[in-house]
């Protein structure tokens, strides 16, 4: 494996989940694998879970880790080719990525979308150029459109908590005060769609009108604007806000009726409640649920370590 940016980079999702669970049961079994290897984590945006869990995963494998907060500590990057760099950008991504590749055996990059231009964000220009110029394997720590380490951790969590062979998994939109990227929702839809193809889950998405995700992630998925209908008999409910894809980056509604609470949980099959975090309490998700027995959000965040460790291990072995 030389690149981890999407479910498409994984040959067998069932196998990678099992490998992650084996690492969870024996975290230090491969301490020699990463000896004298360096992981570089490059952040253009804030992070708690991705930063700490990926560092922890690398340390478990015996790797050294360097973290670069590019947005605060690095030179402002130019991504366009053929421009005279007489503006605020001090360094071109061609040199910056190539230099980081000299210092690290594997690189991870977090880069959010600007949410101003759909075509620009969905071209993943920054991430793709980083991959092209760094000359080492690259892991997405969340790109403009996808968050694959999160989705792998989500699938691990579903495998751990499922009570039936093929659980019903619902992704529901939730209100928010800020326009957020579609990356977590796109990625979850992509991974669940693959899991559905392999008969591992029954997957449904529910959101208000105007919040349709890009078709490439949802073409094989049932989508309904009726949240109560979607929640019927759900075994897992994944709560997440995203801004509109079609009315790009816009907030179209703040309908508080979409917030999941104990009353709505009654419609489900005592569903486990998931969220990638950070979560805005009593805006996106009711405190009564976050603090209640059905929430697995902390365990889900814990599984970020095993997701990252499984991917790093696979890259080190190849």
Where on the chain is the footprint of ligand CP (CB under 6 A)? Answer: 47-50, 142, 150, 276-278
Alpha carbon distance 20, 153 (integer Å): 9
The residue (of 50 and 303) whose beta carbon lies closer to ligand CP is 50
Identity of the residue, 1 or 277, whose beta carbon is nearer to ligand CP in the bound complex: 277
Of the pair 57, 168, the CB lying nearest ligand CP is at 57
Nearer to ligand CP, 49 or 207 (CB): 49
Residue 277 CB, nearest approach to ligand CP (Å): 5
Q: For residue 45, give the DSSP letter.
A: S
CB of 231 to ligand CP, least distance (A): 23
Complex with ligand CP: residue 3 or 48, whichever CB lies closer: 48
User: In whole angstroms, how far apart are CA 293 and each of 28, 182, 224, 287?
Assistant: 31, 28, 27, 12
Q: Are 39 and 312 in contact (CB under 8 A)?
A: yes
- 224 touches 211 (CB < 8 A): no
Report, in Å, the least distance between residue 149 CB and ligand CP: 8
Which sign does the torsion angle of CA 11, 33, 30, 57 carry?
negative
Nearer to ligand CP among residue 92 and residue 169 (C-beta):
169
The distance of closest approach from Cβ of residue 47 to ligand CP in the complex, given in angstroms and rounded to an integer, is 3
CA neighbor of 149 nearest in space, from 6, 18, 2, 269:
6
Residue 143 Cβ, how far from ligand CP at the closest point, in Å?
A: 12
Residue 20 near residue 306 (C-beta atoms within 8 A): yes
CB distance 248 to 118 below 8 Å? yes
> What span, in angstroms and rounded, lies between the C-alpha atoms of 115 and 190?
20
3-state helix, strand, coil in the chain (%, to 5): 40, 15, 45
Q: Please, what is the minimum distance in Å from the beta carbon of residue 185 to ligand CP?
A: 12
């Amino acid at each position: 494996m030389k690149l981890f940016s999407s479910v498409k980079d994984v040959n067998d999702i069932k196998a990678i989940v099992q490998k992650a669970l084996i690492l969870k049961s024996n975290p230090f079994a491969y301490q020699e694998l990463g000896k004298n290897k360096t992981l570089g984590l490059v952040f253009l945006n804030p992070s708690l879970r991705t930063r700490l869990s990926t560092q922890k995963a690398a340390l478990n494998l015996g790797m050294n880790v360097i973290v670069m907060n590019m947005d605060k500590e690095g030179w402002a990057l130019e991504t366009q080719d053929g421009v005279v760099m007489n503006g605020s950008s001090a360094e071109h991504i061609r040199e910056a990525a190539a230099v980081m590749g000299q210092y690290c055996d594997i690189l991870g990059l977090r880069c959010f979308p600007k949410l101003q231009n759909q075509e620009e964000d969905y071209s993943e220009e920054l991430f793709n150029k980083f991959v092209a110029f760094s000359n080492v394997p690259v892991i997405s720590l969340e790109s403009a459109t996808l968050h694959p380490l999160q989705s792998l951790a989500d699938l691990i969590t579903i495998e751990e908590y499922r009570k039936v062979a093929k659980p019903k998994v619902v992704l529901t939109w939730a209100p928010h005060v800020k326009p957020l990227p579609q990356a977590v929702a796109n990625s979850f839809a992509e991974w669940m769609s693959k899991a559905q193809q392999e008969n591992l889950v029954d997957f449904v998405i529910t959101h208000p009108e105007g919040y349709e995700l890009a078709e490439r992630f949802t073409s094989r998925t049932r989508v309904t604007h009726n949240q109560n209908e979607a929640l019927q008999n759900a075994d897992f409910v994944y709560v997440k806000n995203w801004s509109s894809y079609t009315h790009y980056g816009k907030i179209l509604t703040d309908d508080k009726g979409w917030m999941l609470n104990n009353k709505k949980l009654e419609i489900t099959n005592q569903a486990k409640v998931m969220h990638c975090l950070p979560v805005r309490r009593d805006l996106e998700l009711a405190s009564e649920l976050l603090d209640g027995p059905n929430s697995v959000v902390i365990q889900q965040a814990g599984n970020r370590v095993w997701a990252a460790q499984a991917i790093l291990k696979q890259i080190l072995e190849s």
